[in-house]
Amino acid sequence: MDRRQQEQAIINVIRLLGTSLKNRRMYPPTHPLVRTPVEKCFSDIFLFFAQRQELALAISDGTLVFEGVPIFNLTSSLELFMERLAAIGIPAIVFEKGLAPGDIELFIRFLHETKEEGLSPSDIQKRIEDLGVAHIRVKPPEEDDYALAREIYHDAVNVVVSVLKEIRLGRIPSGSESVRVVNAISGMLNQNRDAILALTLIKNFDEYTYNHSVNVAVLSLAMADALSLSREEKSEVGVAGLLHDVGKTQLALDLIRKPDGLTPAEFEEIKKHPEEGFVILGKMSHIRPASAYMVREHHVRFDRKGYPDLGPDYAVQPKSQIISVADCYDALTTMRSYQNAKQPIEALEIMRKLTGKSLDPNILATLNNVMGSYPIGTMVRLDSMEVGIVIGVGLSGKGPIRIAILVDRQGNPLPRSEEVDLTDVDPRTGRPRWSILSTVNPLLYPDAPKGVFLPPPSS
């Protein structure tokens, strides 16, 4: 199965689980309306085991996520299934190879009969095992998050490549694939925000346009989450971030790739790309008008200057500044032929000086909250005198701060990074084992491996 077929099969599996649970409220377990969905669900899951050993279903931030696919179009049976998982306290379930219809049937029985709420995963696991469930386990699938994030990120890059290629060939592509990958990114942000945000710090100069587009989408969606936008608004913001630069396809390639400063005439050409993008998105299917307007307005400054000049009476979309802030942050933290990449903290400080002028102070404050005191990608020195990179900040920039140590206390690069958690406490002293002393200029350690904090690609 290709990815789209897999996603449809995944949605069908969840629908069948929900249907069986819903019907269990009205009929005995032997009734066909309870058993038939279980048997069909098993048949669909069984197809996946030809290529993998297990399938993971998580519930995160009110969203069902199955193998990285967020399930947004909830029927009443799906809502019931999600509510029961959340109420009982099940963060994730994993279907293992060897699964039998009886495992699914007994798990549905557990969901139906259990009256307690907020149980621990270990207690739930013991109870379902006592019922006789052999190949379903309750466990957050943390070990797969970084590999899954990488897959989603690269899928999004491929979609951007395809969209830009189609437009340059004079064709108008469908927007369905853009919407699909934006929903996948949104699901990954719910499942493990650090995993997908870390990928925005992996810069590829040769593919800057594509990586930049995906990075802006990821950062925009993270801010949309923090602003508690609706599901449809998040999708609109994400699509606008992903496609914010499609108008550049209408410009000469040598102009876009020019390594040094632009002449006034060349800059006037560049300034046409938001309006060109607005026109293109207006012709694409599956693209909401709000996304097109955000693309048109992502270079309109907070003080209404910038471009295009839309006149004093034009009502700018408030969400357009989300794209502007994400665009600015990713550009500042990216090495270009004409600029050195800024440290995340340095980039945020530069952007603070632009608030009230180019940038909306409230949107920038949201980005600050998302990124935390030490944003992912920041190089820091610990009180142990080791040097590392921040790889995790927790939800809303709070909670555990995880560091990948790259340089030992003598200043020697490590052959492999060593991960530490700043919340770990030394039992002898009752104090944290590590703390951050200061940030470090990455140029001081050019031999420290870049990107080593990400797990290696799966073979």
Number of residues that make up the chain: 459
Q: Do 178 and 237 touch, CB atoms closer than 8 A?
A: no
Look at residues 171, 304, 162, 314 and name the one whose alpha carbon lies nearest to residue 242: 162
Specify the pLDDT at position 274: 96
Specify the pLDDT at position 72: 64
Report pTM. 0.69
What's CA 387's distance to the chain center, in Å?
A: 27
Per-residue pLDDT of the chain (459 residues; tens, 9 = 90+): 555 666 677 778 888 888 999 999 899 988 999 999 999 999 988 888 876 778 888 776 567 777 666 666 667 777 888 888 888 888 888 888 899 999 999 999 999 999 888 887 878 888 999 999 999 988 654 545 777 888 889 999 999 999 999 999 999 999 999 999 998 899 888 878 888 988 887 666 556 789 999 999 999 999 999 999 998 999 999 999 999 999 999 988 778 777 667 888 988 999 999 999 999 999 999 999 999 999 999 999 999 999 999 888 899 999 999 999 999 999 998 866 556 778 889 999 999 999 999 999 999 999 999 998 888 888 899 999 999 988 888 765 565 588 889 898 998 888 777 888 888 887 788 888 889 999 888 778 766 655 444 444 333
Asked if residue 442 has a cis previous peptide bond (ω within 30° of 0), the answer is no
Residue ranges of E strands in 330-429:
379-382, 387-392, 402-407, 413-421, 425-426
Q: Do 217 and 298 touch, CB atoms closer than 8 A?
A: no
Token representation of residue 33: 């309306």
Per-domain boundaries in the chain: 3-140, 144-371, 379-444
Instruction: Give, for 189, the enclosing helix (H) or strand (E).
Output: helix 176-191
Specify the pLDDT at position 254: 78
Cite the DSSP H helix spans in 67-144.
Answer: 76-88, 101-113, 121-131
Domain 144-371 falls under CATH 3.40.430.10: no
Amino acid, single-letter form, for residue 182: V
